[in-house]
Copies of this chain bind each other. A is one copy, B any other.
């Protein structure tokens, strides 16, 4: 038997997992500070739910892992956290709205393995169901600003509005039935470039002149206010006006909340067809990472479609990409290899070492001890290999003196300290 992990999956080593857990803790703290409550849904959903025409669509369904239980029910591993959220809301119509929930959990997609794409990955989603106010959209944007600030990253939040995009398409003469398809092409400009998108649109039978005009409009540059003024002067139809009004509301709330990183970008489209209003993506500045690190938008027509009553349930959400944030922060030279602060090396006695170990742990100081009766130099090597910052040596001399030898593994400096002094010193490290 050859041992391996399945294609597209991997083991996350402690030094990697420590950094991942750090990011997750910041995202979780952000969600909770912003009033989102935790919800857990099963990893496995009924296949019918995942395959619903209101769910993720045929592209994603092709990548869904299928399974059956012993009752031969058709099941699937969830490919995102949005569809299970919609299913949950639909099954719990009496939940008090607006309902703000977050979920940080694995999702699975049996797709092609490209650089940095995995078949099992963690999504960190926050969604608000039951509010059509642009204040809810602003909550998601404010949350993103808070999380990336707390992670110490430089970023920009690009924002746009699907109604405005529709209005622009209408203005340049694209037919309504082609809106979604054209928007999905526009979404690729940053990734594949204008030339390839133009080709794609020509294949979709959009006349060359319309494409040129469309490109000229979505490339409008300037402050958020400048761009909106220019658009108002040029494009004037119901869709565009509604979209501009919604954007103005979001900017108004954002200003009141003191958000500084929100930038209107008319070329931003988002690849998913269910968005109907605000859309946004977060990009890092001065980073090796070019793809978005968080993204989301408003999808007012999805949740209600899961309900028998077809009641409309407005919804807006944001998803943080754990892997891509990890790649942005990852710095091999700064990786913490351990969470353990101190390692005890007993020399020919276990009595005092075990007593001290217990006291350190009772004081919530992450501590470890030699478990293989190694010699001192092998023990120092072990502590060094794991990057444990302090070591305590306890032998006859130390016991007689009533003090213990604390060694700083980085500087090699040693001090003879009392139990109390050691606790004091390590607790604040």
Which residues does A use to contact B, with CB under 8 Å?
A: 1, 3-14, 17-18, 20-21, 29, 32-35, 37-46, 48-49, 52, 65-67, 69-71, 73, 75, 77, 87-88, 90-91, 96-98, 100-101, 106, 108, 110, 119-120, 128, 130-133, 135-136, 139, 142, 146, 253, 256-258, 306, 338-340, 343, 350-351, 354-355, 357-358, 361, 364-369, 371-373, 382, 385-386
Contact = CB atoms under 8 A, between A and B. Distances in A.
Contacts of A7: 69, 71, 73
Closest 5 CB pairs of A and B: A35-B368, A9-B42, A12-B40, A14-B37, A256-B354
Given A136-B371, A139-B371, A382-B96, A18 B38 contact: yes
A339 B101 CA distance: 11
A90 to B, nearest CB: 6
Contacts of A20: 40
B17 A40 contact: yes
Nearest to A41: B11
12 contacts: A3-B306, A7-B69, A7-B73, A9-B44, A11-B91, A14-B37, A33-B361, A33-B366, A35-B343, A37-B338, A106-B106, A128-B371
Given A49-B3, A128-B371, A38 B14 contact: yes
Nearest to A15: B37
A21 B6 CA distance: 29
Contact of A6 (B5, B40, B42, B364): B42
Contacts of A66: 67
Contact of A39 (B13, B100, B108, B372): B13
Contacts of A139: 371
Kindly report how many copies of this chain are found in the complex they form together.
2
Nearest to A87: B3
Contacts of A128: 371
Contacts of A371: 98, 128, 131, 133, 135-136, 139
A105 to B, nearest CB: 9
A141 to B, nearest CB: 12
A33 B3 contact: no
Contacts of A343: 35
A139 B354 CA distance: 10
B133 A372 contact: yes
Nearest to A136: B371
Highest count of chain B CB atoms <10 Å: which of A9, A66, A119, A130: A9
A89 to B, nearest CB: 10
A1 B88 CA distance: 14
A253 B354 contact: yes
Nearest to A16: B40
B32 A11 contact: no
A80 B291 CA distance: 35
B120 A88 contact: no
A373 B17 contact: no
A350 B256 contact: yes
A365 B14 contact: no
A173 B49 CA distance: 58
A39 B12 contact: yes
Contact of A120 (B44, B71, B369, B385): B44
A42 B5 contact: yes
Nearest to A13: B39
Nearest to A371: B131
B39 A6 contact: no
Contact of A340 (B13, B35, B52): B35
